[in-house]
Amino acid sequence: MRGALALRLTLALGATLFLLVMLFALALDALATQSERDLREGRYAYILAELKQRVEAPLSLGLQVESLDYLQRLLEREAAGDPDILSIDLFNSSGDQLFTTDADDIRSAVPSSWLQDTQNLPPPESEAEGRQEAYWLAEERDGRVVGVALYNDFGLLVGGLALRHQVTDVGESLLDPATLRLLAIAAVATFFGGLGFWWLNRPLERQTEALIAAVKERLKAPEALVPPGPLDRDGLRLLEALQEAERRCAAATAEVEQIDGRS
Amino acid sequence: MAVAEQQTSAITRPILAAAEEAKGVRALRRRFLTLSLILLLLTALLSGWLGLRYVEQRLEAEILPSSRAIGTNLAQQFEVALAAGVPFDRLVGVEPFLATAAGFDERVAFTALLDPEGQVRYAAGPASNALPAQLPISARSDRLLRIGDQLAEPQPLHSDEQLQGYAVVGLYATLTVETLRNFRLAALLIVLALGVLLREMLVGILFQNLDRPAEALSRLSEAVEQGDLSRTTWLEVPGRLGHLIDAFRHELVAVNGRFHAFLLAAFATRAGHFDPATLREVTDVVRRCLANYRLPPVAGAWPVSLSEAGLYRLAAFSLLLGEALLAPSWRVLPALAEEGPLDAVTLSVLPLLLALPVGSEMARRLLVGFAPSLIFTAGALIAAASALSLVLADSLVALVALRLLSGVGIGMALQPFGKSGVLPHALAMAFVAGAPPGFLALLLVGPEVTAPVAALVIGAAGLLVGQMLPAGEGAPEEDEAVTKEGTSWAGLLPAAALAGTGVLLPLIAQLTIGATRANVSLLLASGLGILLASVLAHWIKLRPRPAAIAAAAAAVLLLLGAFAWGTETFGPLLVPALILVVVVFLGPRPMVSSTPAAATLAAAGAFTGSLLLTSAVGLGVALLLPAALLLLFALSWRRT
């Protein structure tokens, strides 16, 4: 078959380029997902910081968190503002859940790890030193959690706020138009690669064709008919050596026939 | 000095002659590789650029809600003040308030308060100084503001249902420096891995479809030119080159037939005549005609010997690629999840290394007479089965048993070409090509998927590439020289150095800097270490001068030092590593003896002949004296 070598090389190139763009798409998707998550968590941390201010303000008046019924509406309003928020929970220093926006939630206390993370946050006086330390982050089975600690005027921990939100997993948005665009680039590159391989292979193909014709038709002076190419040295040398052997054999045969005929 | 020059000349002459011989085909091969490399790089560049633009677009969808959330809050606070009766122009303490909001997140570029016409009244934040005095606020519902690389959504302030101004929070819409750096690193690893993978695939295809037919023609033309008509080739190649080989084969048969016909005619002439002068004359003609030619025996012509090195390398590469894909999973395999990093490496690597020579020796003693293709396929299937079962191993005993079985399988599979000089290069390439995708796959899907994929690659290598290996008996021609050389220390030390390099780098990193897991940098370091040693070995072989050896040793030590310094410094090393791979991609084929120069490259065989054995035994020695071994490795090339 003509172009068999070019075809094989094109297939290998195509497979590699396909793999390349798929790995690029995966890496970019991972990067975008991570950046989106960072941005989203920054926003949720801001929302929690605002809520924290609103919860802590009445505490300085001597009120108990449990008595602030309007907080339920406040939490629900914030949670309703973003479809990715799964729930916002307000809990006391023992981990008992005081308010939550999760209608399906049947638990009365938040997980102990949340309480632990909240207790590990720095006290209010050192909070301003590092932004990262003002809230905690954790993995959840169906998303992630951002949390802040609540303090009273004396700097004592009175509870915490936790916001659970959905996350997009890497690979979920892999089959989108952007990946198709990358695949199209790979296809175009493969096409040009195929053209290039075919074009580069032409001298070899032409020379091979001419050599086949020269061998089969026993052409005389093949070097004049075979175009230059990669097989200049070996193909022509072999052809000439075979023709030389044939010439000698024919000459010897003629000589023997001549001897036979003469006598 | 004169002796040294003579040695140099003796070593390099056959290599240069071989290079000259295949010049046309080599040039064509190089063009194919260059074109594919250019296309790979262009595709990577274009895909990377377009991909990053797409990521930025995706992030905009998250930036605007953030701007809106902070802006709405600011607007509410200002509205409280306005509702208390403070006129917009008399607001005080605005800038510190805005600065507090701007300092909340490093992505916030500025926070600003605008009047209803869009004039900036107050602003804070790192990019506030670059804000224009007037922002283009429109009454349209789409109120997106794009200022340089920042995005914002103005939030209106109302008092008594009158528009008083806008609170604007601008966020950087470009990717962070850290994100870009991570992507550049990932892209480099991917391009590096796939560049090597593509190169190995193309070299394999070109070896089978271009190099071998050209070599067959070359060997046949040499034989026929010297009058040896008893040689032929049974090479089967697809395409026109295959037809050409066919045509020459038939022509050889035809020429041989004519010679036999001539002999028959001569015998008939002799049989029909009794005149001694005529008989003598016929005998003279036959003698003169056959003086320069050697005809094949009745049984048929002998095939010319062809190099199998390219096929061996492809087979070894594809087999080891599976292992390299699996390598990043070692640490997180169920049975190892609770173990320390050093234990994880020890428990997964050492059984494999110990079993390699056992499998190799078993194949050598028990599978005598079996075709290399069969031995390779059988070994690869054993390795594939054990890789597939890795995720099911629920205890350390089971894991070690499976790693031992894997080692036996790989040792068996590699036995037929253990001495052909292809293993170090194949091993290095497999690590460079397999570890990064394996690591990416591990991050995304976990070992329960990467282990079967690795098993699939190993199995496919056995079944597909194994079929391309020679089906007949017999080892490659260069075996004799190699076996002879393999018994000397000169052959053993480089192998120990190479084996040490592969296993040593991760261990050094773990012992000295306490790397917590066998991550991609360490695996790549192993692969690049072997690759560099392999390339340097080839380079030194061509230039056996003290300066070259010293430079090579210094480069190896430098690289070792750089790797041992810490994985954090690995990023900048990727660029030279990439250049190195490009050089390998386009440069000479290290350790592949596809020409008669194989005899002079015998050390390459010795080099790998004892590689497997010293991998296991040499580990302890290599741990103590890595630098000395590498230096001896370089010096030993000069000696051979």
Q: Does B175 touch chain A (CB under 8 A)?
A: yes
Rounded Cα gap, residues B64 and B49, in angstroms: 23
Does B69 sit within 8 Å of A43, measured CB to CB? yes
Side chain identity at residue B136, one-letter code: P
Cβ B262–A249 below 8 Å, yes or no? yes
Q: What is the mean pLDDT of residues A70-78?
A: 84
B327-344 as b/e: b if 16+ CB within 10 A: bbbbbbbbbbeebebeeb
A108 with A150, same domain: the answer is yes
pLDDT at A109 over 90: no
- The answer to the question of residue B447 being in a domain is yes
Shortest Cα–Cα distance, B256 to chain A (Å): 9
A219 touches chain B (CB under 8 A): no
In this complex, do B244 and A211 lie within 8 Å of one another by their Cβ atoms? yes
The reply to whether residue B73 touches residue A253, judged by beta carbons under 8 angstroms, is no
Residue of A nearest to B69 (CA): A43
Does residue B635 have a pLDDT over 60? no
| Among A165, A191, A218, residue at a domain's last position | A165
Query: Do both A20 and A77 map to the same domain?
Result: yes
The DSSP annotation for B114-172 comes to E-TT-BEEEEESTTGGG--SB----SSS---EEETTEEE--EEEEETTEEEEEEEEEEE
CATH label of the domain that carries residue B106: 3.30.450.20
CB A74 within 8 A of CB A54: yes
Q: Is residue A171 part of a domain?
A: no
- Using a 10 angstrom Cβ sphere, with 0-12 exposed, 13-18 middle and 19 or more buried, the burial of residue A63 is exposed
Query: pLDDT tens digits for B205-249?
Result: 999 888 888 888 888 888 888 888 888 888 888 888 888 888 888
Closest residue in B to A238 (Cα–Cα): B221
A94 and A70 share a domain?
yes
B residues 6-65 near A, CB within 8 Å?
21, 23-25, 27-28, 31-32, 35-36, 39-40, 42-44, 46-48, 50-52, 54-55, 58-59, 62-63, 65
**A172 lies in a domain?**
no
- Clarify whether residues B288 and B312 are in a common domain: no
Asked if B293 lies within 8 A of A248 by C-beta distance, the reply is: yes
Same-domain check for residues A205 and A115: no
pLDDT in tens, B471-499: 754 444 443 333 333 333 333 344 444 54
A155 shares a domain with A95: yes
| Residue B585 in this model has a pLDDT that exceeds 50 | no
Task: Say yes or no to pLDDT of A91 above 80.
Answer: yes
A131 with A28, same domain? yes
Residues B317 and B421 reside in one and the same domain: yes
Is B189 part of any domain?
Answer: no
CA distance B523 to B521: 5
Give the confidence band of B302 by pLDDT, cuts at 50, 70, 90.
Answer: confident
Residue B546 lies in a domain: yes
Closest CA to A90 of A150, A45, A49, A142: A150
- Over residues B66-82, mean pLDDT: 85
B391 and B403 share one domain:
yes
pLDDT at B187: 85
Pair (B315, B289) in one structural domain: no
Between B33 and B431, residue with greater pLDDT: B33
Can you say whether residue A150 is alpha, beta or left, with left for phi > 0 and alpha for psi between -120 and 50 degrees? beta
Q: State both tokens at B360.
A: 């190799």
Nearest CA in chain A to B51: A28
As a whole number of angstroms, the distance between CA A158 and CA A59 comes to 10
- Please state the domain count of chain B: 3
**What tokens appear for B629 in the block?**
């071994």
How would you classify residue B543: left for phi > 0, otherwise alpha for psi between -120 and 50, otherwise beta? beta
Examine the domain organization and report whether B284 and B357 are in the same domain: no
- Chain A hits for B104, CB-CB cut-off 8 Å, are 42, 45-46, 49, 131
Of B57-71, B128-142, B433-447, least confident by mean pLDDT is B128-142
In a domain, B22, yes or no: no
Q: Are residues B271 and B335 in the same domain?
A: no
For residues B340 and B484, state if they share a domain: yes
User: How far, rounded to the nearest angstrom, does the alpha carbon of residue B123 sit from its chain's CA centroid?
Assistant: 53
Q: Which of A19, A43, A196 sits opposite B65 (nearest CB)?
A: A43
Whether A37 and A107 map to the same domain: the answer is yes
121-160 in chain B: CB under 8 A from chain A: none
Residue A151: strand pairing partners: A157
ipTM of the complex: 0.81
Residue A218 belongs to a domain:
yes
* End-of-domain residue from the set B159, B178, B197: B178
The answer to whether residue A170 is domain-embedded is no
Give B108 to chain A, closest Cα distance, Å: 10
Q: Let me know whether A33 and A159 are in one domain.
A: yes
**pLDDT of B496-536, one tens digit each?**
445 455 555 555 444 444 444 444 455 555 555 555 555 55
Q: Min CA distance, A108 vs chain B (Å)?
A: 30
Question: What pLDDT is stored for residue B632 in this prediction?
Answer: 52
Whether B289 and B314 share a structural domain: no
Minimum CA–CA partner of B219 in chain A: A234
- Please tell me whether residues B498 and B588 are part of one structural domain: yes
The terminus-to-terminus CA distance of chain B in angstroms comes to 16
Per-residue pLDDT band for B466 (boundaries 50, 70, 90) equals: confident
What's phi and psi for B497, nearest 5 deg?
Answer: -65, -45
Domain count, chain A: 2
Structural domain contains residue B207: no
Distance CA B43, CA A13 (A): 11
In chain A, which among 68-127 make CB contacts under 8 A with chain B? 82
In angstroms, the CA B472 to CA B487 distance is 27
Residues B311-322 have pLDDT tens digits of 888 898 899 899
Examine the pLDDT at B56 and tell me if it is beyond 80: yes
| C-alpha span between B619 and B504 (Å, rounded) | 8
Q: Which of A22, A231, A244 to mutate to test the interface with B (most CBs of B within 10 A)?
A: A231
Structure tokens given for A84: 């990715």
The answer to whether residue B6 sits within a structural domain is: no
pLDDT top residue among B564 and A29: A29
Question: Of B262, B286, B303, which residue constitutes the final position of a domain?
Answer: B303
The pair of structure tokens assigned to A195 is: 């053209």
B218 and B315 housed in the same domain: no
Per the domain annotation, does A258 fall within a domain? yes
State the pLDDT at residue A21.
93
CA separation for the pair A231, A238 (Å, rounded) = 10
> Is A186 part of a structural domain of the chain?
yes
What percent of chain A has a predicted confidence (pLDDT) above 90? 14
Confidence check: pLDDT of B155 > 70: yes
Same-domain status, A215 and A155: no
Q: B366 and B294: one domain?
A: no
Closest Cα in chain A, distance from residue B551 (Å): 35
Residues B114-151 have pLDDT tens digits of 888 888 888 888 888 888 888 877 655 457 788 888 88
Instruction: Compute the distance between CA of residue B603 and CA of residue B484 in angstroms, rounded to an integer.
Output: 10
- Write down which residue in A138, A165, A192 finishes a domain: A165
CA dihedral A82, A86, A89, A95 (to 10 degrees): -150
Tell whether A72 is covered by a domain.
yes
Q: A151 and A24 in one domain?
A: yes
pLDDT score of B18 more than 90: no
CB pairs under 8 A between A and B: 274
Among A245-259, B60-74, B244-258, B578-592, the range scoring the smallest mean pLDDT is: B578-592
Tokens of A239: 């052809």
The 10s digit of each residue's pLDDT in A128-176 is 554 456 788 888 877 888 898 888 877 788 888 889 888 877 667 777 7
Q: Is residue A26 part of a domain?
A: yes
> Cα(B253)–Cα(B229) distance, rounded to whole angstroms?
9
Q: Considering the domain boundaries, does residue B360 fall inside one?
A: yes
B289 touches chain A (CB under 8 A): yes
Q: Where are the beta strands (DSSP E) in chain A?
A: 85-92, 97-100, 136-140, 143-151, 157-165
Which of B303, B332, B348 is where one domain is finished?
A: B303
Determine the distance from the C-alpha atom of residue B183 to the mean position of all C-alpha atoms in its chain, rounded to a whole number.
Answer: 20
User: Residue B207 carries which DSSP code?
Assistant: I
A56 to chain B nearest CA, in Å?
Answer: 17
Q: Are residues A241 and A126 in the same domain?
A: no
Q: Supply the range of the domain harboring residue B285.
A: 212-303
Average pLDDT, stretch B157-163?
80
What CATH code is carried by the domain that includes residue B389? 1.20.1250
Q: Is A87 helix (H, G, I), strand (E, B) or coil?
A: strand
Instruction: Answer yes or no: do A38 and A74 share one domain.
Output: yes
Please check whether residue B48 lies inside any domain of the structure: no
Task: Give CA–CA dist B384/B381, Å, rounded.
Answer: 5
- DSSP notation for B258-290: HHHHHHHHHHHHHHH---HHHHHHHHHHHHHHH
Would you call A187 an interface residue with chain B, using a CB distance cutoff of 8 Å? no
Same domain? B468 vs B567: yes
Among residues A131, A165, A199, the one where a domain terminates is: A165
Q: What span, in angstroms and rounded, lies between the C-alpha atoms of B505 and A243? A: 60
- CA-based nearest distance A48→chain B, Å: 11
**Domain interval for residue A141:** 4-165
Cβ <8 Å between A186 and B47: yes
**SS3 label, residue A121:** coil
Band of residue B378 on the pLDDT scale cut at 50, 70, 90: very high
CATH number for the domain including A65? 3.30.450.20
For A36, the enclosing helix (H) or strand (E) is helix A4-59
Most confident of A222-226, B336-340, B577-581, B629-633: A222-226
Average pLDDT over residues B591-612: 38
